[in-house]
Amino acid sequence: MIENTFDTFLEQFNFSESEINNMAPLVLAYIGDAVYEVFIRTLLISEGNIPVHKLHKRSIEYVKAKAQSDIIHRIMEKLNPDELNVVRRGRNAKSGTIPKNADVGEYKYATGFESLIGYLYLRRDNHRLMEVLKMAISEE
């Protein structure tokens, strides 16, 4: 019953390919940031019952701009042309602010990574989204 309710909820948010392709890259990054954060939090709690402050400290290592910048540089050659275009658009987007603890280049590439995650999520390309997320957490 609950599963059906969630499916019904998700059906309200069917974006066309055209709508997704026309979204501002910072909008894709906005939703991508949330999706990646939930993925990392779920990953961390799957490792056992850990105090919340330790979970938070560990999650920062994955979600900070430098980490995301490193990820996108590491996986870039495994992305298809459409995905590379989304990353490029995200990287080149004009953001109003830069976080205190990141340099501009890292922040731009992190935004590209988050844009990619948002793009795959909104397209409901769950298989590819999980491939990219697994690449993100692997050391290869």
* Dihedral sign computed on CA atoms, order 128, 32, 90, 61: negative
Can you tell me the distance from the alpha carbon of 65 to that of 108, in angstroms, rounded to the nearest whole number?
Answer: 8
Kindly state the tokens that stand for 44.
């961390």
Check if the beta carbon of residue 137 is closer than 8 Å to that of residue 130.
no
DSSP per position, 33-77 = HHHHHHHHHHHHHTT----HHHHHHHHHHHHSHHHHHHHHHHHGG
Catalytic site residues? 33
SS3 115: helix
